[in-house]
Structure formats: structure tokens, C-alpha cells
Amino acid sequence: MASMNTANKSTRFFPSHPHHSATFCTRIHQIAALALVVATFFLTRLFDHSLGPCSSPHFNSFADVNRQYDGVLRFGDSVGWPDRGYGTHLNLKIYVYDENEIEGLKLLLYGREGKISPEACIKGQWGTQVKIHRLLLQSRYRTRKKEEADLFFVPTSVKCVRMMGGLSDKEINQTYVKVLGQMPYFRLSGGRNHIFVFPSGAGAHLFKSWATYLNRSIILTPEGDHTDKRDTSAFNTWKDIIIPGNVDDGMTANGARLVDPFPISKRKYLANFLGRAQGKVGRLQLIELAKQFPDKLESPELKLSGPDKLGRAEYFKHLQNAKFCLSPRGESSWTLRFYESFFVECVPVILSDQVELPFQSIVDYRQISIKWPSTRIGPELLDYLESIPDNDIEDMIAQGRKVRCLWVYAPESELCSAFTGIMWELRKKVRQFHQSTETFWLHNGSIVNRDLVEFSKWKPPLPLP
Ligand SMILES: *[C@@H]1O[C@H](CO)[C@@H](O)[C@H](O)[C@H]1NC(C)=O
Ligand SMILES: *[C@@H]1O[C@H](CO)[C@@H](O)[C@H](O)[C@H]1NC(C)=O
Ligand SMILES: *[C@@H]1O[C@H](CO)[C@@H](O)[C@H](O)[C@H]1NC(C)=O
């Protein structure tokens, strides 16, 4: 009976399947029919599993996604995470180190005089260092028990603290080393389950000796490559996670926006580049190109810093006055402009060959952006952009509108946000077991160090790699 049910059910998926007549039922037919029933049974179960109701509230919220059964996730009316490889259910326990628990952590958060305020640090393109910390403190994924934690978060605001003169490079380096030496769990895993945020182009280079201490840890950074002034990149595509830059809250918040997008047919320019040259080849070429083709490419001298700094609204008004927003490489490969484009609704054109983009397990960047070789910046680029019909541009902008929630550091209650995206990426990093070159274990499950001292008795300062 059960197999009959399954066979009936299978007509949902194979409606054109012909009926065998009993009169011609040879042994071969019987075997074939049995094989078909077995195969459809498993297929049906597989399909039911993918389509059926799921207990996870997260998954339900992304249920509109178009899945194709080759395992590829396509854009539907929403975005979603594939269950392939890491489950449909997001369960994660993250321990957040407390500033009072580890000596030195306060220095990395507030500077040597303790005066750098999180309120100041949460603004601007590097605000993610504060935002992610705050979101984690309130998160349902937070645990207060180290023993049950999958991952450990080390909060710091070093980018902001350094910018505001709160600590020198040397102090940052020494303080990090001191902080890490007080964390037995860091020692246990060699840092493999510890998370650090480095929100700027410098990435983990903000901590000079990162390569010695953090080269096994999980680094959250918008920066996939910063090799302009160094020969190494601190980013590792398999261990680290690219996070979106922090777009101005005035553009990402629901309700009143700083500026509202307007129809692309009304935009004055084909493309624009808003930013400083910084002596970079690609940027200088764009500025030259804008002089050659002032009607097509806008590249105004904008004061992006200093006393006559352009207002936020004015900046976004400029940015939205073109169909395409060019995002060339600067000191490093990522630029905030890429993310901002989605909120003013221009199509971002990436001119930064080494760029790494966030959430690639679910976003197909071909549908929302263009990446053009930085070695071919010139009239050819403008001709190409001009050849793209407005309809296609509208389509890309519409797709971008669907995914841009992933660039917003919204509260956890929002179903689609940068934070949720980061949690899903972190989920992929969770390991059941942790070890390092200096971690050993015995027949009874005791974890010991090289001197056979039990883990519970490891006392700071712990020797570091
Ligand atoms: C960082 O600090 C550690 C510990 O004090 C020291 O051994 C290391 O040389 C420092 N790194 C740099 C680049 O100064
Ligand atoms: C990572 O750290 C280990 C131990 O100090 C070192 O041998 C290795 O060279 C480091 N890797 C990188 C990429 O710096
Ligand atoms: C495990 O075995 C070691 C060595 O015999 C012993 O010192 C330790 O106390 C044991 N641990 C537990 C949890 O029983």
C-alpha cells in the first residue's frame, strides 16, 4: 500500500508517465516498474524535504526562493540560503568576550584614556566593528557559557580608536597579543573558532602581527585584497568572511530616506565616479575620461572630507544622477560606493579586479552589477554602457532592490539583513572538535597541553604561537 501511495504521488512530478498494461507485464517490466517505484519514492522524499514546511522561522521567511533541483539557488521574490552543505536550520552559539573579563580589551574598545565613544565609532563606513558587536550582544545566538559556545567573538574598535588617536599601531599590536594570551579557548583551538572584525581596507593588518596570531581565526572584513602597499593580503577566501561596508543609516533605514531614487530616464549622466583619485591609475583614468566626455561621465571635484565636506544628502543626490555608478579600486579593492549604489539605485560597475564580494553562496552578482576589467577603462567602457537598453538597467536595479537588505546592519528581527547573512556564513565554520599543535587529548577525553596539564587548569598568560 505504501508503495502504491508513493507511485500515485509521483504523478505530481511525472504527469506524463505512461501506464503499463497488465497484459504485457513481463518479468522485465515488473523489475523496471519496481525500480521506478523505488526511484520515485526517494525522489519524492527528496522533493518533499526541499519543499515541505520547515520548523525554522528563518527558512520560512525565505520560502519564495526559486530553487532548481540541480542544487542552484536562483533569485525569486526574495533571497534565501541553500540548505546544501549546512542545513536549513540556523543554530549557532556565540560567546562574546566581556570588556571586564579580559585585561586590555577596554583599551582596544575605547583607547588608552578610555574616551573613544562607541557612539562616535558606529558612524561612517567603518561602523561595522561596533554594529556587529552590538547586534551580537542582543542576539538569540549569543551564549553566556564558554563550554557550549561554537564560536567566540572578540570585540574591539581598533579602526576607530586608531583614527581618533586612542592607540598607536605599536600599542594596538601589543594589546592584542596581551588580550589573546588571556583566552584559554583561543589557545585550545589555536584561534580557529575566534571571530575578529576588521572593518576597513587595511583588514587584519591593523594588528601588525596578525599573521602570527590570527592566521587561523575567522576574520570579518569588507576587504578581500589590500596589496597596494604590502605584498600580502590578510584575507583568506576559505576561512574569512567578506562583510558589506556600512552604508549611511539615512539611506538604509525604512521610512524617510535622505534622497529618493528617481526614474532612470531622467538621469543626467550615463555614469559617474564620485571619489578622490588617491593617485590610483584607474581613478586617474576615469577623471581623464570624464574630461573627454563630460556629458556622459560625471566625475566632479567633491570635498569628501575637511571643513567644506559635502553634505550626506548632496553626496547621494550626485550619486543617483547616473544610470551606472563606477566603483574603481582605491587603496584597496573594496569601495563603499558599490553598496551605496543599491540604495540610490544605479547599477554598480566594479572596476576593481581583486574584489571579493559578500554572501556569494546566495547572490549571483551578474544579475545586479557589472564587473569590467580595470585594464580597459576608456571610451570603450562608455560605449559598452551606452549600448545597454534601459529595460535591462531597470531589471538589474529591480534585482538589486531585492538583495540590498543583505547590506543593511538591521536588528536581528529583520529577516533579511547583513547580520543574518553573517550568521549563516559563520554557521559554515562551526566545528564539533577543536585542536591545535599545542592541544593533546587522553583516552578519557581530557584535553591537556604539552606538559599534560588539564585544560581547566590552563592559566594566563598562555603561550601563543
Ligand atoms: C607585536 O607585539 C608582540 C608582543 O609584544 C611582539 O613580539 C611583536 O614583535 C610585535 N609586532 C610588531 C610588528 O611590532
Ligand atoms: C601562521 O602562523 C604560523 C605559526 O606562527 C606560521 O608558521 C605561518 O607562517 C603563518 N601563516 C601566515 C600566512 O603568515
Ligand atoms: C584522565 O586521565 C588522566 C591521566 O590518567 C587523569 O590525570 C585525569 O584526571 C583524567 N580525567 C578525567 C576527567 O577523568
Q: Give the number of the atom of ligand 2 that is nearest the alpha carbon of residue 216.
A: 1
Q: What is the position in ligand 2's atom list of the atom closest to the CA of 232?
A: 13
124 falls in which pLDDT band (50, 70, 90)?
confident
Q: Is residue 463 part of a domain?
A: no
Residue 426 counted as domain residue: no
Same domain, 282 and 359: yes
pLDDT score recorded for residue 43? 44
What is the structure's pLDDT at 87? 53
Distance CA(52)–CA(212), nearest Å, equals: 47
296 and 347 together in one domain: yes
Distance 236 CA to ligand 2 centre (A): 13
Question: Kind of pairing, strands 347-351 and 322-328?
Answer: parallel
Q: Determine whether the shortest distance from the Cβ of 215 to ligand 2 is under 6 A.
A: yes
Main-chain dihedrals φ then ψ at residue 269, nearest 5 degrees = -115, 155
Does one domain contain both 365 and 449? no
CA-nearest of 57, 85, 61 to 71 is 85
Cell numbers linked to 234: 590578510
Question: Does a structural domain hold residue 390?
Answer: yes
Domains identified in the chain, total number: 4
Tell me: do 108 and 136 sit in the same domain: yes
Give me the pLDDT at residue 29, please: 55
- Binned at pLDDT 50, 70 and 90, residue 292 comes out as very high
Do 81 and 203 lie in one domain? The reply is no
With bands split at pLDDT 50, 70 and 90, how would you rate the model's confidence at 196? very high
Return the DSSP state at 454. B
Residues 180 and 261 in one domain: no
On the question of pLDDT at 209 being above 80, the answer is yes
One domain for residues 216 and 323: no
With a 6 Å cutoff on the Cβ, whether 317 touches ligand 1 is no
Residues 275 and 347 in one domain: yes
What's residue 119's pLDDT?
A: 93
Residue appearing with cell numbers 525569486 = 76
340: CATH: 3.40.50.2000
Full residue range of the structural domain in which residue 120 is found: 94-246+434-457
Residue 164 within a domain: yes
**Percentage of residues in the chain having pLDDT higher than 70:** 80
DSSP element (H, E) containing 348: strand 347-351
**Does residue 291 share a domain with residue 142?**
no
Which of the four pLDDT bands, split at 50, 70 and 90, describes residue 282? very high
Do residues 176 and 131 both lie within one domain? yes
Span 318-337, pLDDT tens digits: 899 999 999 999 888 888 99
Query: Do residues 88 and 54 make contact, with C-beta atoms less than 8 angstroms apart?
Result: yes
pLDDT 10s digits, 331-385: 888 889 999 999 999 999 999 999 999 999 888 899 999 999 999 999 999 999 9
- Separation between Cα atoms, residue 401 and residue 395, nearest integer Å: 10
Tell me whether residue 425 is in a domain: no
110 and 212 co-located in one domain: yes
Within a domain: 417: no
Residues with CB under 6 A from ligand 3: 442, 444, 446
130: CA distance to ligand 2 center in Å? Answer: 28
Say how far apart CA 159 and CA 108 lie, in whole Å.
Answer: 9
Strand 66-67 versus strand 73-74 pairing type: antiparallel
pTM: 0.82
Same-domain pairing of 211 and 123: yes
Any domain includes 177: yes
Burial (Cβ within 10 Å: 0-12, 13-18, ≥19) of residue 415: middle
Residue 375 inside a domain? The answer is yes
